[in-house]
Amino acid sequence: MIKPHGAETLTPLYVSDDAERTELIKEAEQLPSVTVSSGAAASAVMLASGYFTPLTGYMNIAEATSVANDMKLLNGLFWPIPIMNIVPDEQLTEAVKNTDRIALRDPNVEGEPVLAVMDVSAIEILSTEQKDLIIEKTFGTTDPEHPGVPAFAEVGDNVLSGPIQVLNYSYFPEDFPGTFRTAVEIREDIAARGWDKVVAFQTRNPMHRAHEELCKIAQRKVDADGVLIHMLLGKLKPGDIPAAVRDNAIRAMVKHYFPENTVSITGYGFDMLYAGPREALLHAVFRQNCGASHFIVGRDHAGAGDYYGPFDAQAIFDDIPTDALNIEIFRGNWTMWCNKCKKIIMMGDCPHGNDDYFTISGTKQREILAAGEPLPPEIARPEVAEILMQYYQSEVN
C-alpha cells in the first residue's frame, strides 16, 4: 500500500490508550482552556485521525507563512495549506498566557467539552499583513464574499502553536456512525478488502450520474480494485446539502449501480474551505494518507462561485515538484449525457459536440426538486433524485 505523506507510518494524534486518555481528561479539566474555532476543531479531528500525517499540531506564524508562500514546511516537506489555531482576544486570558499547557474546547458540541490538550510552544500576534498574505495565498483572493475567507479573517489574531493530544473525534462518530472513518481505519479496510490500487473521490455534494460515471471511468482507466468515496462531513456554506442527506443519496446510488465490493463509502471530519486549487492539493495529501493510490480531481474541484477557473485545481499539480506527492492524479474532464452515445461520457472520450450534450444547471436542478418533480434520468438516478426531492420539499414546506 502507498506510504503516508512524509512518513513511514501514519501518525494519528488521538490518544488511543484508555488509561492515558482517562488521565489526560482529568488533567484537562484543571488546565486553563480556550474554545477554538470550528475550523481549528476540525483540524484537531484530522490530526487525530492521521489524515494530516506527519503534522504534530498547529503551526506557528513562520511555518504558516512558509506554507502559504512556498507550500513547504520549514523542514522542506511539501504542505499546501496552513493548519492553525487562531483565537480572539477574549479567549486569551491571563491564565492561558501564563502557562505552557492548555485544554482546547470544542465549539461544535453542546457544553464545549475538551477536545484536546495542547503544549503551547508560542503565542504570537498575527499582523494584518501576515493574515492578508495567508488568506490571499490560500484562497487566491481576500474578497470577504468568498465563503472561506471570513472563516479565517474573522477568527481573531492570536496564534497558538504547538503539539496536541486529541481526546475524541468531536461530533462526527455520533452523528455519522456508519460513515466517519479515520485514515487508520480506511487503510485497515483497504487491506481487508485485498485492494491494491484505489481511486479516491472527494465530494461535498450528492453524486449525480456524471459523478458516478467519473468514478467508474477513473477506476477503469487506472485499473483500480476499488473506489473510495470520501465525503466531507463538517461545516459547509449556506445552501449546500447537509451531510446526512448526501450520505443517504450516495449509499442509494452505490447499492443499485456499482458492483459489490468495488466501493468503500466513508467520510472525514473537516470543514470545507472552498479554497479551490490549494484545497485540491490538501485533499490529495490526506487521500495518500488514507492509502489511496489515485485521486480524482474534477472540474471546479473545491471551488466556489467564479473565483477559480474550471481546471485550475488540476493545473496546480503541474506547479509542484514531481516528488511532492506519491499519489497519482486522475484528471476528470466535463462529464455529461450524450444524446448520440446514449450514455454518460467524459469530454475527450466522445466524438460528438455541445449540441449533443444534455445538461441542466445546478440552480435549475434545485428548482425542479423543490417543485416535487423528478430530475431527468440523464442527470440523476431515480433513487438519488427521490432522496433529494424529499429534502428540498421539506425545506420549502
340 CB-near residues (< 8 Å, 6+ apart): 352, 356
CATH of the domain at 72: 3.10.400.10
The answer to whether 381 touches 209, Cβ cutoff 8 Å, is: yes
Last residue of a domain, one of 152, 173, 194: 173
Confidence of residue 33 (pLDDT cuts 50, 70, 90): very high
Instruction: Tell me which of 173, 190, 222 is where a domain ends.
Output: 173
- Cα 234 from Cα 175, distance rounded (Å): 11
Cα distances from 25 to residues 100, 104, 114, 161, 183, in angstroms, run 17, 11, 8, 21, 24
Residue 168, CA distances (Å) to 17, 45, 204 in order: 12, 8, 23
Of 114-118, 240-244, 247-251, 260-264, least confident by mean pLDDT is: 240-244
The predicted pLDDT at position 372 comes to 84
Write down the catalytic residue from 204, 248, 331, 366: 204
User: Rounded to whole angstroms, how far apart are CA atoms 214 and 31?
Assistant: 49
For residue 291, give the C-alpha cell.
492509502
d(CA 206, CA 151): 24
Does residue 8 sit within a domain? no
Return the CATH number at 359: 3.40.50.620
Residue 11 domain-assigned (yes or no): no
Per-residue pLDDT at 365: 83
Residues paired with 264 in a beta bridge: 228
Phi, psi angles (nearest 5°) of residue 126: -85, 120
On whether residue 334 sits in a domain, the answer given is yes
Residue 228: band (very low, low, confident or very high) from pLDDT cuts 50, 70, 90: very high
Domain stop point among 173, 202, 224: 173
pLDDT for the residue numbered 22: 97
Instruction: Give the phi and the psi of residue 195 in degrees, each rounded to 5.
Output: -80, 145
Weakest mean pLDDT among 205-209, 306-310, 370-374: 370-374
Q: At what angle do helices 128-139 and 276-290 cross, to 10 degrees?
A: 70
For the segment 74-97, the average pLDDT, to the nearest whole number, is 97
pLDDT at residue 371 is higher than 90: no
As for how many domains the chain has, the answer is 2
Residue 122: beta bridge partners?
A: 161
CA distance 371 to 373: 6
Provide the mean pLDDT of the chain: 94
Total residue length of the chain: 397
**pLDDT number for residue 12:** 98
| Annotation marks residue 204 as catalytic | yes
pLDDT-derived band at 397, boundaries 50, 70, 90:
low
The domain of 289 spans: 178-396
Strand ordering across the sheet containing 263-268? 263-268, 226-232, 198-203, 294-297, 328-331
Average pLDDT rounded to a whole number, residues 149-163: 95
pLDDT at 396 over 60: no
195, 343: one domain: yes
Question: Mean pLDDT, to the nearest integer, of 25-42?
Answer: 97
Say whether both 361 and 275 belong to one domain: yes
**Grid coordinates of 204:** 461535498
Asked if pLDDT for residue 117 goes beyond 70, the answer is yes
Residues 250 and 246: their CA atoms lie apart, in Å, by 6
Residue 375 lies in a domain: yes
Residue 173: pLDDT above 80?
yes
> What are phi and psi for residue 30, nearest 5 degrees?
-100, -10
pLDDT at 364: 83
Share of the chain above pLDDT 90, in %: 80
The pLDDT value recorded for residue 59 is 98
Q: How far is CA 55 from CA 3, 206, 326, 354, in A?
A: 15, 31, 17, 46
Per-residue pLDDT, averaged over 121-149, amounts to 96
Rounded distance between C-alpha atoms, residue 91 and residue 93, angstroms: 6
Q: Is the pLDDT of residue 394 over 90?
A: no
- Across-strand partners of 87? 158
- Does the annotation mark 105 as catalytic? no
Indicate if 52 and 184 belong to the same structural domain.
Answer: no
Nine-digit cell string for 118: 495542547
Average pLDDT over residues 249-266: 95
* 248 is a domain residue: yes
301-351 pLDDT, tens per residue?
999 889 999 999 999 999 999 999 999 999 998 888 999 898 898 888 889
Please indicate, yes or no, whether residues 248 and 353 belong to a single structural domain of this protein: yes
Measure Cα distances from 179 to 182, 228, 230, 315 in Å.
Answer: 10, 12, 9, 31
Which pLDDT value is given to residue 241? Answer: 87
Would you say 287 and 230 are in contact if contact means Cβ atoms under 8 Å apart?
yes
Domain shared by 162 and 265, yes or no: no
Q: What are phi and psi of 81, to 5 degrees?
A: -135, 135
Percent of the chain with pLDDT over 70: 99
Cis? peptide before 54, omega within 30° of 0 = yes
Gap between the Cα atoms of 241 and 112, Å rounded: 25
Q: Which of 20-29, 89-98, 341-350 has the lowest mean pLDDT?
A: 341-350
Tell me the pTM. Answer: 0.95
